């Protein structure tokens, strides 16, 4: 029997890391080739990972919520057959797994799609460092903090036992984001008591060390051993400072979809010169058509809503103004006209905003467009949108009206020429056939890249969308 390792694959076309969202197996569970063992989130989407061999789970090397670099071992499995030479280091380390992980072994770099390799040796674990005593032996700059920290840090006790009190000269184990957090907070990682699996310093450990480091500034040193008693002396000196700093702010790590969205929006806002135009108009006829289509037996079982007809109106307007469907090639200094429409639909999910797109939306009938929209939204809500579904979009629709918002100035999805914000549809007084009547009214806002679309073209495009929705018979006459 041998032990085989499964490494974090490159699941997102060149992405270098992924966060483990959920483990579907535990040590001792039997797994088969192709079985999904965990769900991970990359900067683009949540992805389920299948294991490529049969066996029994030996160990899960990272906890849920941990960000893991591509190429690192995330799970080990006992198998009946395998490469004995490859499994030997794992087998030797198995009896002492509670004390130390595998020793580094030189190996060639494993290629990934971002142009550099991930060293196989980097996936091996270094021996754990002793949480308390080691820092002092390594010459920590602030010995007072580690000296007092073990008292409140009960979770660190197993790590101390597993470490056997051995001093390790190598730097503390921590992921790059955790190292950056420690640097930002001014915390020496050597002074932090690790509670993560394998002696890894976690974000919580850094925050705990930061809170402990703040105590000596306002409270006598003995108070570090009993943080619960700290508020009393502080209140005696200055009542306004009675609340611990940690309770006044919450820091949320920026990662996954939210991180890549933020980077993309900053890049888009300061690369493409944005122009936004607005139009407010009567959509009463479109809303009546929605109700009629819902009652149509030929469309039974399909999701019919205003967004469906708005999407169809955008596609008709693109056909009348094909130059809006383009992209800017900075390297070649060319405008690339697209003869297809991959229509993006912005979707708010618990993990952040994503923009999957309907491939070749221009060629779909109304029922096909309805099915594509329903599938897109359902997949996004489940967090199962694949990276491919979010690539190569040409135009985007964002429906801010579902939140009761009248309009906005949306930022372009990178690489696209325009984005249409749809406002709330409300019953308002409106002049209709010379009389003021209650009508269904909405506002559209179109942001576009002024390098690709000038004011005239953008205005005609937006006006055509509104014209179709104001008189939906144009879905036929203009098609």
Please choose, from the candidates 24, 21, 42, 38, the residue with its C-alpha nearest in 3D space to the C-alpha of residue 386: 42
- Cβ–Cβ under 8 Å, residues 458 and 446: yes
What does the alpha-carbon distance between residue 284 and residue 175 come to, in Å, rounded to a whole number? 56
Report strand pairing: 343-345 vs 395-399: parallel
Which residue out of 207, 274, 362, 450 is catalytically annotated?
A: 450
Residue 22 sits at φ, ψ, to 5 deg, of -155, 135
Phi-psi region of 335 (alpha: psi -120 to 50; beta: other; left: phi over 0): beta
Question: 244 near 231, Cβ under 8 Å?
Answer: yes
Joined tokens for residue 402: 């579902």
Residue 39: partners with Cβ closer than 8 Å, 6 or more residues away:
20, 21, 22, 24, 46, 47, 48, 49
Reference 179, options 194, 165, 167; nearest CA is 194
Q: How far is CA 16 from CA 46, 69, 72, 76, 121, in A?
A: 15, 6, 11, 21, 16
E runs forming strands in 94-160: 109-111, 117-119
| Rounded Cα–Cα distance for residues 440 and 451 (Å) | 35
First-to-last CA distance in the chain? Answer: 66
Active site residue 450: yes
Q: Are 334 and 385 in contact (CB under 8 A)?
A: no
Q: Which residues carry out catalysis?
A: 450
């Amino acid at each position: 029997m041998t032990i085989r390792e499964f490494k974090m694959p490159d699941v997102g076309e060149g992405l270098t890391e992924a966060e483990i969202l959920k483990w579907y197996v535990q040590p001792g569970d039997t797994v088969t080739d192709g079985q999904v063992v965990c769900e991970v989130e990359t900067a683009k989407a949540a992805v389920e990972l299948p294991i490529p061999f049969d066996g029994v789970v030996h160990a899960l090397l990272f906890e849920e919520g941990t960000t893991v670099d591509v190429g690192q071992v995330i799970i080990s499995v006992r198998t009946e057959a395998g490469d004995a030479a490859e499994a030997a280091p794992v087998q030797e380390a198995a009896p002492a797994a509670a004390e130390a992980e595998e020793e580094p072994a030189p190996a060639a770099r494993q290629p990934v799609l971002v142009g550099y390799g991930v060293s196989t040796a980097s996936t091996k674990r270094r021996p754990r460092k002793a949480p308390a005593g080691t820092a002092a032996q390594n010459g920590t700059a602030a010995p007072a903090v580690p000296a007092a920290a073990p008292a409140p840090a009960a979770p660190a006790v197993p790590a101390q036992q597993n470490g056997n009190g051995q001093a390790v000269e190598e730097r503390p184990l921590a992921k790059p984001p955790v190292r950056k957090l420690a640097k930002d907070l001014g915390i020496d990682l050597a002074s932090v008591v690790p509670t993560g699996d394998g002696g890894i310093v976690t974000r919580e450990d850094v925050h705990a060390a930061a809170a402990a480091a703040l105590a000596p500034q306002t409270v006598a040193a003995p108070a570090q051993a009993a943080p619960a008693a700290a508020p009393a002396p502080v209140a005696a000196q200055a009542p306004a400072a009675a609340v611990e700093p940690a309770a006044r702010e919450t820091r949320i790590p920026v990662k996954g979809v939210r991180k890549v969205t933020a980077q993309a929006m900053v890049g888009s806002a300061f690369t493409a010169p944005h122009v936004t135009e607005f139009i407010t108009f009567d959509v009463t006829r479109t809303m009546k058509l929605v109700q009629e289509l819902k009652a149509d037996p030929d469309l039974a079982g399909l999701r019919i809503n205003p967004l469906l007809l708005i999407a169809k109106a955008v596609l008709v307007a693109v056909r009348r103004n094909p130059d809006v469907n383009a992209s800017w090639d900075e390297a070649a200094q060319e405008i690339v006209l697209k003869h297809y429409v991959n229509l993006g639909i912005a979707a708010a999910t618990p993990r952040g905003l994503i923009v999957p797109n309907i491939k070749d939306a221009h060629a779909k009938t109304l029922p096909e467009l309805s099915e594509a929209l329903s599938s897109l939204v359902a997949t996004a809500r489940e967090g199962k949108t694949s990276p491919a579904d979010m690539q190569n979009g040409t135009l985007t629709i964002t429906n801010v009206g579902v939140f009761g918002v009248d309009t906005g100035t949306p930022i372009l999805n990178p690489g696209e020429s325009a984005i249409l914000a749809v406002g709330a549809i409300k019953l308002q007084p409106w002049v209709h056939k010379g009389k003021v009547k209650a009508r269904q009214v909405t506002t559209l806002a179109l942001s576009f890249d002024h390098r690709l679309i000038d004011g005239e073209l953008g205005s005609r495009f937006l006006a055509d969308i509104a014209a179709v929705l104001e008189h939906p018979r144009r879905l036929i006459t203009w098609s």
